[in-house]
Structure formats: C-alpha cells, structure tokens
Chains A and B, each alone.
Chain A
Amino acid sequence: MDFALLFAYAVHAGTPLLFATLGEMVTEKSGNLNLGVEGMMLMGAVMGFQVGIATSNPLLAVVGAAAAGALGGLIFAFLTVTLRANQVVSGLALTIFGTGFAGFFGQKLTGKIVPGPITTFFGEAKVPLLSDIPFVGKILFAQNLFVYFGYVAAIALGVYLFHTRKGLNLRAVGENPAAADASGINISLYKYTHILLGGALCGLGGAYLSLVYVPTWKENITAGRGWIAVALVIFTTWSPYRAIIGSYLFGCLDIIGFRIQDLKIKVSPYIIDMLPYIVTIVVLVFISMRKSKENAPPKGLGNPYFREDR
C-alpha cells in the first residue's frame, strides 16, 4: 500500500470536513451552538453546483456556495440572536430546511457533471519546491487550489482568533457575553457576523463535495459529514490549527474503512465508522475531567444572552 497516496487522499476527503469544522468553530466561539451544519453544507453544495453548471465559472460557484451557507447562517442568527429562540431546536430546523432546500434545487441536477473549466481549475496544482519534499510534499502540496485555500482559511482563522483584538473580543462574547457587553462590545453584531462567516465556511465545505470530491450532483451528498464536523470541533478543542490535523485524520477514517481489508485486518468497516464519534466522546470527557480552561468549550455556548435578563 502506498501510504503517501493514501494520506494524500485523506487530505482530499478531509477538506470538506475542515471547512465545515472551521465554520462551526467560529460560530461556537461566538457562543452559539448551530446544529444546522449539515443543512448549511447542503445549501452550499447545491448552490455551488447550480452556479457552476450555469456559469462554468469556478470562482462564482464558490462564492455562490458561500452565500448560500451564509443565508442558512443568517436564518439561524435571526432566530437565535434577534428572536432569542432555542439554539438546538433552531439548528435542527435549519438542517431539515437545508435538506429540503438542496433536494428542491437539486432535483433537476441529479446526474449532471461539473463543467470542464471548473474541473480543470480545481485539478491537481503542484506547489513548486514544496511538492518536491519527499513524502510530505506528495501528501500536502500536490493537491488542488481548494485544498490550499483550506490551509489558508484555517491558519487565517487561528491568527484572527488568537492574535487580533477582534478575535479576542469574539472569544469574550462566547465566554462571558455580559462582561463583553459591559466593556462596550456590540454582542449582536459580533454574533451575527461570525455566525454568517461560519455558515459561509460550511457552504464552502459543501461546495468542495459537489464541485471537486464527487463531482456530480447526488441527493444527500453530504451523507452526515455536517455532524462529523460538529464532532471535530470538540475533538480539536476549538483550535483552528488542530482542526487541520483533525479533519485529515477523520478524512482518513472516512476512506480507510473499505481499504483496511487490503491490510488483512479483520475489522468491520461499520465499526471503524464509529471511531470518530467514540474518540470525540473520549476527548469531550477528558476536557471536562481536566477542567482546563484553555481547551474547554466556550463558557456561554448554547446559552442565549439578553441584556434585559441580567
């Protein structure tokens, strides 16, 4: 078995997870638990594909996907921030809606193939020099532009969260909205912009599936990856840097199920499918046992914040 090739494929399979994980992470950092990831990914996937078919323009397709994901985020933000609705229920409703939305716009797209210009644009693009590094180069730098954009997005988000004033403010909103409010941070504005950004990232994750990974349209194209992304946010303990490794690891688990039989290991692929969720639980329990402040979920996660109720 060629391990470099296997890992390169894991990065490919992990990229939609990376985008969705970053999206959910930035949403959760604002204190909102959006369980509509699956819905927003589907909205992005179908819109990206639709725009791609209509225009044959890769950039427009990606922008369309991000916009559709952000639309899902907007619905969620309006319900939970402005109208103070329950976050879990609103997220689940968003998943139902997104599934319907994708089915509705996707019914005429089934079986269609991504136009040539887009496939070429997202074809393999070796990074000069870096792709010559033995083993690692083949895994990380002989990928497509969309994958590289994933690295950039994750690192940019990490820098934003941990090294800028706005990122600090955002974390304050997620940890303790009352204190953030008192220090003059506009809570609603921060929540809205980051939930929308999160939705856009989830939409991009969906677009990777429909435009690059599959790349035809099929019903329920995400196949539960949105929920894996929710798990990944915990697994990588709310760090965009660790999200890179975590996503590719889960991407590896995603593809390894049926390949493991080549290695003559007698484990059912369905049992391997359980692993991401089991390790996520282990991580979740471990964080809560250690009570470390650094890796814990945002304190205000899931709790609505109303200034009047203080």
Chain B
Amino acid sequence: MLFRIIKRTDLTGTQAVMFRTAAVFLALLTSSVFIIILGNNPFEVYASMLEGSFGSVYGIKETIIKTIPLVITSLGIAVAFKMKFWNIGAEGQIFMGAFAASYFALNHADIPRPALLVIMAAAGFLVGGLWALIPAIFKAQFGTNETLFTLMMNYIALKWVTYLQYGPWKDPGANGFPKIANFHDNAILPKVFGVHIGWIIAIVLIVIMYVFIHHTKRGFEISVIGESENTARYAGMNVKKIIITSILISGGICGLTGMIQASAVNNTLAVEVTGGVGYMAIITTWLAQLSAPVILLVSFLFAVLVQGGAYIQTAFQIPQSVASIIQGMILFFVLGSEFFIQYKLILNKSILKKEAKGGI
C-alpha cells in the first residue's frame, strides 16, 4: 500500500472542530449540484434556509420546538450507547411513552392540571423504559442482538399506535376521519416565553445527564461497562443489574419525549407524533460523541436544517426531498471526516524509495 494509516494523537480540539466544519461546507458544496439541476441558486437557497429558521419570531420558535425532542431523545440514547448497548429503538420508546401519557390525558382529564401532567410524564417515562427493557433483558440473559431487536420493537409500537388511531381510540366526533380526540387543556404542557416548557425540561436534563455520567458512581460504572464488560465484572460490579437499570433510564427519557410531543406539539396521540425523531436522534447522539452539551449544539443544527428545509419548500417550491439530500450529504461528509480526525495517512516512504531505485 502506498499509504500507511496511523492513529492521531496530536489533534487539538479546535482542529477537530475545523475538520467537521470543513466537512459540512463540502457537503453543502456537493448538495449545490442538486440545487443547480433544479434551476435554483444554491446561495439563495441556503440563505433562505437560514432565514426560515432565524428570520422571524415564528421561525425561531419552530426551530426551538424541533430542537427539544432531538435533545431529550439523544440524551436517552447516549446512556445506552455509553454502555455500547446499541439501542436504536428510541422511535418505539417515544411512541409507547406518548401512548401511556395519552391514556391518562384522554381518560382522566378531570385530574387537576399539574397533577395530571406529572402523572402523564411519569407514565411516559415508565412505559418508554419498560419498552426498552424487553430487549435489554434478552440481551443480558441470552446475548440477543439488541440492534435488531430494538429496531423490530419500533415497528410494533408504530403499528400499535396506528391500530389505536384507526380503531378503538378513533374520535367518533371527527366525521369518520381517523384521528384520536384532542387532549383537554389540562393535559397540555404550559408555555414559557412563547415556547412549550419542554425547552426547560431539555436544559435541566442536559445538566442532570452531564452530572450523572461524569460525577456519579453509576455514571462511572456505565462508562466502565462500555469500555470492557470484563473489567467491570472483575471490579465487582453487577453488570446485568447496571445494564438493566440504565436501559430503563435510557428508554424512559425517550418515553418522556413522547409525552412532551403528544402533549405540547400534537395535542393528541398520532402516528406522526415521533416525526422520525427516534432515528434522527441516533445520528445526532453519535455525531455529538455522546456528550450532553454537544448534543444540544448538534440537535440545534439539525433542527435548523429541518426547519429551513420546510421553509424553502414554501418559498422556492423546492421539494422537501432536497432538504433530505442536504441532510444525507452532511451526514456522509461528517461521518467520513471522523476518519481524518482519528487517523492520518502517511506516505509510505519505503515503497517510494524502492520505486525510485527501480526507476534508476
């Protein structure tokens, strides 16, 4: 081989950030090709994406509303990923959390508002956590592949909510339209500064998760298990118990996202309640390298992309698909750039020397 690949040890944090920024720019450059094919000016399109997310009070609010579920779900996923438990079942956990919260919202709207909201949040957390627990138990007991298991659980949850929406929970007052009745006001999260209270929950959770992972015994144990299960076992940790309780927390946080989305954004339970957040959050979690503060930043950037993508559709009649292409491109380039952050290529001088000799 002409190149040798060696692990970098010399890269500073700033340089790593520069690599990633460069990757995003390269992605935008490549996406421009598609925009030009459509007959639009890429600069105008990018500028109006920014305008769509920041240009108006409405835009900013929408961007924040889209950031909230990404942040909270990513925090949940990060706990599982920290243990190298590849939980890709956040989508299903969100659905089940939303389902549990909706049960109380629809049937017990007479409970006073604060109490009802707390019950809904607790139910969402618990059921989301239990949904994640099923694959975790099988993983701990039999070593069942959790990636494939959690993926299947997503679809069961999706079909379950579809069943409820089209079947037993269908609102008879909706003229045959398949939707679940809107929540009573008691079951809707209040707004603070014009945006639902989820943003405060998200910030509080970031702080809690940061402290949990870095400054508590359990957080440390999770990191050790992620590094090496054997080490954890030799150190006398009860690996199974730690995995199971941590997955309960991981799924629970995702379930809480479901409660927030159903209550504050959709005002009901619907198949659209996740909006693909469960999958997108896997990506944001990974790109943020499981760090709670970075999750906030990455989720925000993603929300800008999504909100900007929706805006250019109305402003330029550019199909939403272009936004998906841009998203995909950015992911490809940023994922690819990680390689250049972790490794560097070195020209193999011995080969070159040999070739030079051969030439003479």
Residues of A within 8 A of B (CB): 33, 35, 75, 78-79, 82-86, 88-90, 92-104, 106-107, 224, 227, 230-231, 234, 268, 270-271, 273-274, 277-278, 280-281, 284-285, 288-289, 291, 297, 301-302, 306, 308
Contact = CB atoms under 8 A, between A and B. Distances in A.
B6 interface: yes
A274 B7 CA distance: 46
Given A75-B332, A280-B152, A297 B145 contact: yes
B353 to A, nearest CB: 22
A88 B147 contact: yes
A285 B319 contact: no
A99 B335 contact: no
27 contacts: A83-B339, A84-B342, A85-B335, A85-B336, A86-B286, A88-B86, A88-B282, A89-B287, A92-B283, A93-B328, A93-B332, A94-B328, A95-B279, A97-B327, A103-B319, A104-B34, A230-B148, A231-B148, A231-B152, A270-B162, A270-B167, A277-B156, A278-B152, A281-B152, A281-B153, A281-B156, A308-B7
B335 A103 contact: no
A102 B320 CA distance: 11
B286 A268 contact: no
B292 to A, nearest CB: 18
A96 B34 contact: no
B185 interface: no
Contacts of B143: 288
B314 interface: no
Given A93-B283, A99-B324, A227-B155, 8 more contacts: A75-B332, A84-B342, A94-B328, A100-B322, A270-B159, A274-B160, A284-B149, A285-B138
Contacts of B103: none
B147 A302 contact: yes
B343 to A, nearest CB: 8
B142 interface: yes
A101 B339 CA distance: 25
Nearest to B327: A96
Interface in B141-198: 142-145, 147-149, 151-153, 155-156, 159-160, 162-163, 166-167
A284 B144 contact: yes
B325 A79 contact: no
Nearest to B321: A103
Given A88-B86, A104-B325, A79 B332 contact: yes
**Residue of A35, A93, A103, A280 most packed against chain B (CB within 10 A):** A93
Given A92-B282, A270-B167, A274-B155, A288 B324 contact: no
A281 B151 CA distance: 10
A97 B329 contact: yes
**Residue of B331, B338, B342 most packed against chain A (CB within 10 A):** B331
A136 B341 CA distance: 58
**What is the interface of chain A mostly: helix, strand, loop, or mixed?**
helix
B5 interface: yes
Interface in B309-352: 319-329, 331-332, 335-336, 338-339, 342-343
A240 B149 CA distance: 21
**Residue of B138, B282, B321, B338 most packed against chain A (CB within 10 A):** B321
A274 B163 CA distance: 10
Contacts of B86: 88, 302
Interface in B186-244: none
Contact of B339 (A85, A89, A102, A289): A85
A93 B335 contact: yes
Given A270-B159, A277-B156, A281-B153, A100 B328 contact: yes
Contacts of B322: 100, 104
A288 B140 CA distance: 11
Closest 3 CB pairs of A and B: A97-B328, A103-B321, A100-B324
A273 B319 contact: no
A273 B322 CA distance: 31
A79 B147 contact: no
Nearest to A101: B325
A98 B143 CA distance: 32
A93 B148 CA distance: 17
Contacts of B151: 35, 227, 230-231
B264 interface: no
Contacts of A33: 147
A89 to B, nearest CB: 5
Contacts of A234: 148
A157 to B, nearest CB: 21
B88 interface: yes
B152 A79 contact: no
Interface in B28-57: 34
Contacts of A107: 319, 321
B214 to A, nearest CB: 23
A123 B232 CA distance: 61
Contacts of B331: 89, 93, 96-97
B326 to A, nearest CB: 8
